Structure formats: C-alpha cells, structure tokens
Structure 1
Amino acid sequence: AWLLVLDEEESRFAALPSPGGEKNDQEAPPVPDLSIPASHPLAVTLLQGEDVLVLGETGMDRQSQWPDDRIPAVWREAGVCVALPLISGGQMVGIYLLGPKLSGDIYQRQELDLLRTLANQAAIAIANARFYEQVHAFSQEMEAKVRERTQELRDFISAVYHELSTPMTAIRGYTELLMGEEGKLPEARKQRYLQVVHRNVQRLMRLVADLSDVARIEDGRLTIHPEPLRLRDVVQGTVTSLSSMVEEKGLRLAVNLDPEDAIVLGDEQRVGQILTNLLTNACRYTPAGGRITVTAQRMDGVVEITVRDTGIGIRADELERIFDRFYRSDDPLVREQSGTGLGLAITKSLVEMHGSRLWVKSRVGQGSTFGFTLPLAEMPHEQ
C-alpha cells in the first residue's frame, strides 16, 4: 500500500510509504515514485465524487472503466489496483493506493467499504496535522515578530530618552550658568551660552515634530499640498540651514542642479523636510574630510534628486530595513551617532505621498546614495 499526499506548492500528489506493515530482517525494497499531478484525470475523477476506483481485473471481479493507457505507467508497474480518495473539507488531501492482496484473492465489497471508512479517518488526520503545522508556523512567525518589535520598541524608547536627556541636560546646565552669573558674564560668553540653549531647543522641537509626524502618518492624518515650486530655492534653503553642521564636521558639500531653475510639483515644507533628513543622515555618517553632493537632473517629465555621500555605507542586509520605523543598525559606527530610527521612515512616507519612491544604493566603506523624483510642473522657456 502507498499513500500520496497533496503537495500544494508543487500541485502534485507525492508518494509516501504507508505507515505500519510487518518488519523483517531483510532490507525493504525501494519505494517507487507514484506521484501524479493534481490535474491528472484520475485525481480529478476521485475529487468529483468517485469514492473508490478499481483499476484492472486484479481489483475486483469486474473490468475497470479506466483504460490501461490512462493509468500512470508507474502505477501499473507497481501493481496498483485500488485507489481511494482522502477528502477533507471538500479538498482531496491525499490518495490511498492498494496493490493486489497477498493471497491473490480479489477485494470484496465489504473490504472496500472498510477501506473507505479508514480513508475518511486518514483524511481527517492529515487535514488536522496540516492545520496544526500551519498554526504552529504562524505562531512561531508571530512570536518572532513580537520579539523583534519589542526589541525595536525598547531601542526606540532608549533612543528617545537619549535624544531628550542630552539637549535637556545642556539646556539646564547653560541656563543655570546664565542665572548664576547674571550681570557678571561678558556679553560674548552670554551669547554663546544662549546659542547652545537655542540649538538644543531646536533639537527637541525636531524630535517632537518627528514623533508627531509618525503618529499622523500612522492614522492617515498627515497630508501634503503640492504646488509649483522652484527646486533651487528649496535645495539652497536646506543647505543653508545645515551649513553649520557641515562646517563643524569638516565636510565638503556640492550642489549640482540641471536645470537650475526647474519648477517641480511638491509640498514645499515636506520636500524641504525630505532633503533635510537625507542631508542630516549624510552629515552624521560621513567622516571628516568627506564629501556630500546634492544632484537634480531632468528625466522624462520628472526631476530626479539624489543625495550622495562618501560615508561609512550601509550593509546589504540592512538596505530594506533602514526604512522601518524605530530600526537602527547594530553597527557601532551608527550607534555612536544620535538618532531615533524615525528619520528615514518618515522620509520614505513623505516621498511616497508625492507619488514617488525613495531608493538607496550603498557600499560599506564607500558611501551611500539616496534618491527620489518629483514631477516637473513647468520648464523654463529657452531664450
């Protein structure tokens, strides 16, 4: 006897040795491959209501309705003479095959009735086993995702705590200095302290804005308002706002716009936010002496904007995950930089709201390039 079990991925009934059977000291003969496609006429006939097929004169004292040339050759060679469907929930999960009786006698009707009952029980057992496997696999997958998300949330909380505590500590320290030395501090030092306080307040405001954006993106409340805008103005405004960060790290920043006066369709505030996030990341992860290049190039009705750096690069296995919320690489060179793991996730969502896609190319030790497109609203007329 043999058991064929449905392989859903291959859409075949794959042969398995039937359980049980007498054991002896002799080596068991090899199990023949009796597999057939799920679309085979025999399988279709069994599924459509035939509770048993008797193949050939060896099965019963009547001739099968199935011509020999329509019976799989390997079945004939193996001596298959009875096929019973294993059906559960309207789906045939397997086929039970029997060879001739060892006694040489034919199968009696009552024997086939008993085999039908056993086939029904086997079908239920196979269906239950598959259901258990599916539930078990789903449970393991969910557990893994929960563990992963829990760790990401812990990392996020830790990062937010760090992002909050660092500027707040600086603000507290410098305000105490200002209050304690009121009227005694030279004006230049006082202004320097106030600049530190202002810079850290701005850092806190950016963090609050990021958290707000994530919440609004999550529940669909964040919207954009595209309108024609001069790309050069947005790029230059962003570059100017980050010039102090670029200078402090000793980086070189170049801007190449072609054409320089392209008019694109976008939400000015959000396009500026996209560029700010990409340039901030480039600054963070590019060592001193490195180079950052912002490029805009016209391509078939759109302008492709890229931000390229010569920084530490991103591992290939992380290129997809870097856009996940809360995700931060375990690379020590990344961990030593501040961040919450929200910037690229927000940037990706904002780019997609503009009908584009945020892409990245990177090689470890050589740098990264991030890019997206904006539709052209108007091109300048040639003089």
Structure 2
Amino acid sequence: MEKEQRDELVNALRQISAGNYHPHIPVRGNASYRQLSAAILDVGNSFEKHFQQERLLGSITEKINDGLLLEEILNHVFQSFREIIPYHRISIALLDKDNKKLRSCCVRSDATKIKIAKGYSAPLEGSSLANIIATGKPRIINDLRNYLKKHPLSTSTKLIVAEGMRSSLTCPLIATHEPVGLIFFSSMQTDTYKNIHISLFQKIARQLSVTLEKSRMYEELMQLNELKNRFLGIAAHDLRSPIGVIKNFIILFLNGYLGEIDDKQREVLSTMDKNCDRMLNLIHNLLDLSAIESGKLELKPEPLDLQKFFHTYQSMTKSLAEQKQIELTLNIEPDLPDIMVDSNRIMQVLDNLVTNAIKFSHPNTTVTISARKRNGLVEISVADHGQGIPPDEISKIFKEFSKTSVRPTGGEKSTGLGLAIVRRIIEAHNGTIEVDSTVGKGTTFTINLPIGN
C-alpha cells in the first residue's frame, strides 16, 4: 500500500475520532485498500450509532433531572428512540404493594385501538412474567401468535396480538435492588428482536427505574410532609386556646381588675404578656404554614385601594418605628389602580416586611414603603438602611425556620417563619418577591403583583 493511501486512511480515522462519522475515502487502489476503507466506514457507522444511543440515554437523564413524571418520560422515549431501536408499542406495568399483581401504568402505541390500556391488571402468580421478575432477565418472544397457540389461556397475549403486535421484548424494572415492574417493547413484525442486542433496552429500563424510585421517594416524602402539617396544625390549634386564656388573665392583673399589684409584679406580668404575644405569633405562623403547605390557604380577593391601604398601615405602624427612633415613610405613586387581592393577607405580608426592617435597623434610620405601576404590575417595595444580609445567606431567607447571622438591633425575637409565609402568600396571588441587599447599607424587598389578578 502506498504512503498516500495510508495517509488517506489515517486521515479518515482521525475524522471519525473528531465526530465526522462519514469521512470521504476515494474509491481506488487494490483489494486490501478497499477492504480497509470499507472497514473504516463501518467503524464510523458503528461510532455514530453508539453516539446516538448515548445521546438519547442522556436525554432520559435530563428529563429525570427536570422532574418529569414517568408518563412524560415514556412519551419522550416513544417519540425519540425510533431511529435506533425498533418498536410500535411501549408500555410499563408496575407491581402492587404485595407483589401479587401487575398493573399497567403507561402505554404508547401505534395501534389504532389499544387493547391493554392504562389501568389493566393481571395476577403475577402463574404468569410467565413471574419468571422475569424472579430472575431479573429480559425475555424475547419472536412470534406472539405462535406463543399464543402454545399458551391459549394467556389473556394478555390474546389482547396484545389483537392489537396487532407480533413480537416483544420484556425487561424488568429494578429499583434499589428490588423488582418494581416491567417495561414491554412490542413490534408489529415477527422476529424483530431475534438478533438484536438487548443492552440498550436494559439501559432504558435502568433509567426508567430511577424515575420510579424517585417517584416512590417523592410520594413517601409528601406523605411525611402531610403528616407533619397535620401535627403542626393540631398542636398549634390546641396551644392557642390555653395561651389566649393565660394572656387574658395577665391583662386582668395589669389593668387592676384582680387587685392592686406592685411595680415588681407589673414588670413580671408585662414580661409574661410579651412572651404570650410571641407564642401566639408563633402559633399563628405555624397554622398559616400548615394551611399553605396542605393547600388549604384560602384567599378572599377583593378590590384594594392602595393609596388608602398604605396610609392606613403607616398610621398603624408609625409608633412601632418611633420606639426605635426609626422614621417610617411612604413613596407612593399617585393614581395607582386598585388590585384584586386578599387585603388581610397582603397586610400580613407588608407587616412582616416592615417589622423585619424595623427589627434589623439601627436607630435614626429610615424605612420606606414604595409603590408604583410597571408593565401591568404593581411593584411594592420595603427598603431599610440597616445591616444588610451577607450574599451567601440570601438564598435561605425564604426557607422555613431559617435565620441569618444578622441579629435584631433591639434584641427582638424571630421565629424564622415570617418570610417563608410571605413568599407563599405572594405566590398564591400569582406574584413574585425579590430581595436586594448590601452589607452595611441595607435591604430592599420588592413584591410584584398583577393588576388583573
């Protein structure tokens, strides 16, 4: 073989390595050269097919990571994998909790009428599928009609043949080393899977098993979360009444209805009263959080006059700010439109943001409430000139029971629930909340609410 020919073949291999799977090789030379050329082109085709397989398998991983449901991922597999593997039907059946029945949960088929649809179930005991579950090994049936002749009592085979399928490949689905179900690939031609490599089908099965395991874990997590919400709701509800009774008796003592008290007793009772308020605030937050997470947060939308709303709130809260020598100011754009919101919940949001701003600000500073109309939204912001939040801690401020390293300037207490509830209320109004903060300069929380909510 001449040097020029060898260089052509080496160059072709380099092109395949670089991703050009169909390099141009001149048709010339002796039989040995042509044989090597053909082998190199076959290698290119093989590499291309392998690359396509890995790309498509990678796309399943992306769909899993995106949090798609099993049916959505099966849709993706059914639509995308035809170019590399043959099938006219893909379905998934899952074992029940007792491992006694298989139930069809997802089906995609080219047949005009699906005979084994979602929800179809059959006993596992006595079925040929039990062996696949027991051994963890795939099964190929090259001729379903011939198989039906030998197993005439197989109802599922009768149905799949009636749907037009003629051959099948079945792979077990295994999650955390335990069988959870089966995935069926079926074709309208016989012998479709006779000489096929089943490794790709097994890889698809493994990927879908990951989705099933994530779904199972998510379901368990949701059940635990629901149990937690019920516990919080019951506990908070049962605590609210006795604490309310204690507070009422304290008020009776402080107001002199139960006799005279000296200064020391008044000081102790005042401390008890403040702690009752703090406990009641925590209980209300827990009840709110429980309602929100269980989907039971009720909103009562009504038109809200924003000018009146902000001025009323300022007059109610001004004295709280003045106790720390902080000025509470308004910067409200004139002619703001009314918005449809639950006014009590929006008051709760504003109060949380403003009291937080006062809580974390130094004396002789300003807290400003601003509002303006912008791009079909009303933008409401609460800005302070306080301590600011470290950049690496901003991401956790909207999480339940989460606190930053910044401490209240007057020793006030915090439950770590307020901002989590604020975010949920705003999202329930189809709005957004953002935060911009600089350490040593202050923090601004900005809410955007749709005008036509």
TM-score, length-normalised on structure 2? 0.46
Question: Relative to 1, partners in 2 of residues 1:62 and 1:348: Cα closer, same or farther, differing over 3 Å?
Answer: closer
CA deviation string 1:81-129 (max 9, x = no partner): 9957667997999xxxxxxxxxxxxxxxxxxxxxxxxxx799899x69x
Partner of residue 17 from structure 2, selected from 30, 35, 38 = 35
Residue 327 (structure 1) shift: 2.1
Name the counterpart of 1:218: 293
Is residue 360 of structure 1 aligned with residue 342 of structure 2? no
Q: For residues 277-356 of structure 1, what are the structure 2 equivalents within 5 Å?
A: 277-329=352-404, 331=405, 333=407, 338-356=413-431
Name the counterpart of 1:183: 259
Question: Relative to 1, partners in 2 of residues 1:123 and 1:267: Cα closer, same or farther, differing over 3 Å?
Answer: closer
Question: What is the Cα-based RMSD across aligned positions, in Å?
Answer: 5.3
Query: How far apart, CA to CA, are the structure 1 residues paired with 2:364 and 2:408?
Result: 18
Is residue 202 of structure 1 aligned with residue 277 of structure 2? yes
Query: How far apart, CA to CA, are the structure 1 residues paired with 2:267 and 2:334?
Result: 40
Q: For residues 91-170 of structure 1, what are the structure 2 equivalents within 5 Å?
A: none
The 8 Å contact of residues 432 and 449 in structure 2, kept in 1 or not, is answered as no
Query: How far apart, CA to CA, are the structure 1 residues paired with 2:284 and 2:301?
Result: 20
Residue 245 (structure 1) shift: 3.2
Query: How far apart, CA to CA, are the structure 1 residues paired with 2:330 and 2:388?
Result: 21
Q: For residues 233-272 of structure 1, what are the structure 2 equivalents within 5 Å?
A: 233-259=308-334, 262-272=337-347
The 8 Å contact of residues 16 and 44 in structure 2, kept in 1 or not, is answered as no
The 8 Å contact of residues 382 and 445 in structure 2, kept in 1 or not, is answered as yes
Query: How far apart, CA to CA, are the structure 2 residues paired with 1:247 and 1:122?
Result: 73
Name the counterpart of 2:225: none
Query: How far apart, CA to CA, are the structure 2 residues paired with 1:238 and 1:323?
Result: 24
Query: How far apart, CA to CA, are the structure 1 residues paired with 2:298 and 2:45?
Result: 66
How many pairs align? 273
Partner letter of residue 429 of structure 2?
H
CA deviation string 1:208-261 (max 9, x = no partner): 111111111111110212111222333234334433431232212111222277
The 8 Å contact of residues 178 and 193 in structure 1, kept in 2 or not, is answered as no
Partner letter of residue 349 of structure 1?
R
- Gap regions ≥5 residues in structure 2: 1-12, 24-29, 58-76, 85-196, 222-227, 233-238
Residue 309 (structure 1) shift: 0.4
Question: Relative to 1, partners in 2 of residues 1:204 and 1:239: Cα closer, same or farther, differing over 3 Å?
Answer: farther
Percent identical among aligned pairs is 28
SS of the counterpart of 2:285?
helix
Query: How far apart, CA to CA, are the structure 2 residues paired with 1:81 and 1:299?
Result: 57
More relative contact order, 1 or 2 (CA 8 Å, 6+ apart): 1
The 8 Å contact of residues 361 and 408 in structure 2, kept in 1 or not, is answered as no
Query: How far apart, CA to CA, are the structure 2 residues paired with 1:81 and 1:345?
Result: 56
Query: How far apart, CA to CA, are the structure 2 residues paired with 1:199 and 1:338?
Result: 11
CA deviation string 1:123-172 (max 9, x = no partner): 899x69xx79x98xx99xx9xxx9xxxxxx9xxx9xxxxxx9xxx8xx89
CA deviation string 1:20-63 (max 9, x = no partner): xxxxxxxxxxx97853549x569xxxxxxxxxxxxx95589697
Partner letter of residue 261 of structure 2?
L
Partner letter of residue 243 of structure 1?
K
- Gap regions ≥5 residues in structure 1: 1-30, 43-55, 65-70, 94-119, 147-152, 158-163, 378-383
Residue 351 (structure 1) shift: 1.1
Query: How far apart, CA to CA, are the structure 2 residues paired with 1:312 and 1:210?
Result: 25
Query: How far apart, CA to CA, are the structure 1 residues paired with 2:300 and 2:31?
Result: 79
Residue 342 (structure 1) shift: 1.4
Residue 293 (structure 1) shift: 0.3
Query: How far apart, CA to CA, are the structure 2 residues paired with 1:81 and 1:58?
Result: 19
The 8 Å contact of residues 387 and 406 in structure 2, kept in 1 or not, is answered as no
Question: Relative to 1, partners in 2 of residues 1:61 and 1:356: Cα closer, same or farther, differing over 3 Å?
Answer: closer
